[in-house]
Amino acid sequence: MPSLEKANQPSAYIAAKIAALRRKQVATAALTGMAMAVGVEVELLALAMFFDWWLDLPWGARLVLLAAQLGVFTYIFLRFVAHPLLHHPDEDDLALMVEKARSAFRSRLIAAVQLTRPGAIPAGTSAAMVDAMVQETEAMAAPMDFNAIVSTDKLKKLGAVAGTVTLLGIFGLIAGGAVSMDLLRRVFLSNVPVPRKTRISVVDGNKVVGRGDTVRLEAWAGGVIPSSGKLEVKYRGRRTLEYNLEQDREIRRRFGRSIENIQDSFTYTFFLNDSESPAYEVKAISRPTISTIQCDQEYPAYTRLKPVKRLLGDLSLLAGSRISLTAVPTKQVQAAALKFVGASGSLRMPMIAGFPSLLVLRNIPVEMVPLKVSDDKGLELSGSFIVPAKGLAGFSVVLLDTEGMESRDSAVYRIDCIPDKAPSIRITYPDRKEELITRQAIMPVAFEASDDFAITKVRLRYKVDTADDGGEKTVELDLEEQNPQRLKRRHEWKIGAFNPLLPEGSKIEYWIEAQDNNDVTGPGVGTSEHQFARVVSESEKRADLLNRAGDYLGSISDVASDEQKLNDKLGTIIREKWAR
């Protein structure tokens, strides 16, 4: 018959109820697993934080604990959360679970599920009976709640436990404040110190010092401030030493201890109240110094002197000279500079070509010139500077090695700055301080001048009280294109060339100036003494000449009289000797 060959259709109603059952079972299992994972993980975090606070676990131990916590969480998540989500129970299992919980079905539910599948009914079997059974099963399943079969008691218990544990953890984290946050960060491998009642803060813990130096070790306390503490020092290969900490009287949070004459490297730890600081290291290394230094002096070009080598004990240097230095340090350096003494901020020298534009050295004043590290190994230094006219008293070499250690108490090399003296000049004629001249006179002015190197200009300077409101005037004197070191000259000063002629009674103040060839720190200008010339009438000049002639004649008479007396005395001495 055709009805026997027709396949039975599965019950959509029964399939929908079984699908709802599957969803609830999967959700319940996954949520139960998640509650278990959260509760266990919060408890493990709390235990890790407690043990870390108690034992101050090192970073490696905290890494092992964190790995263990992640392992436990991963196992619970995969086993109790991911597995139910990825491996759903099939319809047969769910149907059997319902029949087990609801015995009224008596295998009808599993039969309704299985016999409606394609090919489930063999040939010759009545399909009408299967349809009747499915309809009967639907009628029985209608009043039943399949979802009630899934027990949520475990989910509720574990959820309550997880929620309580999580709330307690959050409350403890908030109540603990910074302490709890630090412990939590340490669980996740942060290097913050274990929080204590007293918190220790060490600024610049690791230090590099020079051998023989005194190092000051300081710590700041927070929270409960103790009245005392100790410092533990461990030398390599030696026993541990303990020192009492000194508390600052003004800033009670500050503790410290000075250790003198450091010779070896060591580690140190502060202990204040219940807190212990991390171990820090003080590394002792030798400071860089200068082994040898060579000094060459290059005179200014105007002196025409050849360069010379100078001993460091004899640095009497002409102002304007360039001093070139070549130095060899005792160890490899990364930077060096010349530190000047006595410059008082006035020494501003240009950077030398090829030198760095900025030199970063600690504790070096502005008065410095960088040295070029010309050797690949940092064992040769070179540089130069120009000797100023005044103010420079000496220099020293400051170094910064490749480990960041700077030199200290470097030798100071004294410098005596020798300035280029201005030319000396004097008027040799007229020999009187004030000379009387007429309006038409030609007054000869003779002078002598000398300089250390060369004279380039000579000028007659004067001013007349009755002309140009007494302003100064200049007459350039011809040196005949010569630059002598010494000179004698005579200038015929034509007073009658003044236009208009000077009135009688005018007073002329005049002097001679000489300028040298110093084009570096100069030029130097030398000035003679000021002399005067007064314009008088011809009769006054004749009277002056007669008076001077009388003075000369009187001088001659006095000399003749003195000569006569000497002759008479000599004759007497000769006669007395002859009489004997």
If asked whether residues 320 and 382 sit together in one domain, one would say yes
Distance CA 133, CA 120 (A): 14
Is 180 domain-assigned? Answer: no
Asked whether 352 and 383 are in contact (CB, 8 A), the reply is yes
If asked whether residues 450 and 317 sit together in one domain, one would say no
- For the cut 60, the answer to whether the pLDDT of residue 270 exceeds it is yes
Q: What is the pLDDT of residue 1?
A: 34
Mean pLDDT check: name the lowest of 5-14, 126-135, 297-306, 565-574: 5-14
Structure tokens at 44: 């493990």
If asked whether residues 529 and 546 sit together in one domain, one would say no
Interval 558-567: pLDDT, tens: 666 777 777 7
Q: 195 CB contacts (<8 Å, ≥6 apart)?
A: 53, 178, 179, 182, 183
- For the cut 80, the answer to whether the pLDDT of residue 225 exceeds it is yes
Asked whether 442 and 459 are in contact (CB, 8 A), the reply is no
- For the cut 80, the answer to whether the pLDDT of residue 357 exceeds it is no
Mean pLDDT check: name the lowest of 208-212, 367-371, 405-409: 367-371
Exposed, middle or buried by CB within 10 Å (0-12, 13-18, 19+), for 227?
Answer: exposed
If asked whether residues 481 and 509 sit together in one domain, one would say yes
Q: Count CB atoms within 10 A of the CB of residue 301.
A: 11
Distance CA 429, CA 491 (A): 10
Is 407 domain-assigned? Answer: yes
Distance CA 228, CA 232 (A): 14
Is 185 domain-assigned? Answer: no
Angle between helices 153-176 and 12-55 (to 10 degrees): 30
Q: What is the pLDDT of residue 555?
A: 66
Q: What is the pLDDT of residue 575?
A: 65
Distance CA 343, CA 481 (A): 39
70 — pLDDT class (breaks 50, 70, 90): very high
Q: What is the pLDDT of residue 57?
A: 87
What length does the chain have?
580
- Among the candidates 285, 301, 324, a domain finishes at 285
Distance CA 192, CA 454 (A): 76
Mean pLDDT of 311-320: 89
Distance CA 266, CA 234 (A): 6
- 568 vs 388, more confident: 388
Is 182 domain-assigned? Answer: no
If asked whether residues 362 and 452 sit together in one domain, one would say no
Q: H or E stretch including 129?
A: helix 127-141
Q: What is the pLDDT of residue 365?
A: 44
If asked whether residues 27 and 107 sit together in one domain, one would say yes
- 450 vs 7, more confident: 450
* Cα-based torsion angle of the residue sequence 37, 40, 42, 46 in order, rounded to the nearest 10 degrees: -160
Percent of the chain with pLDDT over 70: 89
Q: What is the pLDDT of residue 580?
A: 60
Is 190 domain-assigned? Answer: no
How many domains, in total, are found in the chain?
5
If asked whether residues 518 and 550 sit together in one domain, one would say no
Mean pLDDT of 137-156: 81
Q: What is the pLDDT of residue 126?
A: 65
- For the cut 80, the answer to whether the pLDDT of residue 68 exceeds it is yes
- Among the candidates 373, 389, 418, a domain finishes at 418
If asked whether residues 250 and 298 sit together in one domain, one would say no
Residue with tokens 């300028």: 515
Is 294 domain-assigned? Answer: yes
Distance CA 408, CA 212 (A): 11
Q: What CATH number should be reported for the domain holding residue 270?
A: 2.60.40.10
Residue-averaged pLDDT of the chain: 83
Structure tokens at 357: 């534009």
Structure tokens at 203: 């600024």
If asked whether residues 453 and 572 sit together in one domain, one would say no
- 569 vs 232, more confident: 232
Q: What is the pLDDT of residue 123?
A: 64
If asked whether residues 109 and 166 sit together in one domain, one would say yes
If asked whether residues 404 and 459 sit together in one domain, one would say no
359 — pLDDT class (breaks 50, 70, 90): very low
Interval 459-507: pLDDT, tens: 999 999 888 888 899 999 888 888 898 999 899 999 888 888 888 889 9
107 — pLDDT class (breaks 50, 70, 90): confident
- For the cut 70, the answer to whether the pLDDT of residue 364 exceeds it is no
Q: What is the pLDDT of residue 577?
A: 65
Asked whether 286 and 331 are in contact (CB, 8 A), the reply is yes
Is 546 domain-assigned? Answer: yes
- For residue 36, which amino acid is it? M
Whole-model pTM over 0.75: no
- For residue 397, which amino acid is it? V
If asked whether residues 221 and 304 sit together in one domain, one would say no
- Among the candidates 236, 266, 285, a domain finishes at 285
Distance CA 324, CA 385 (A): 7
Domain interval for residue 12: 2-173
Interval 506-528: pLDDT, tens: 999 999 999 999 988 889 999 99
Structure tokens at 23: 């969803």
- For the cut 70, the answer to whether the pLDDT of residue 363 exceeds it is no
CB environment 231-253: b (16+ within 10 A), e (fewer)? bbbeeeeeeeeeeebebeeeeee
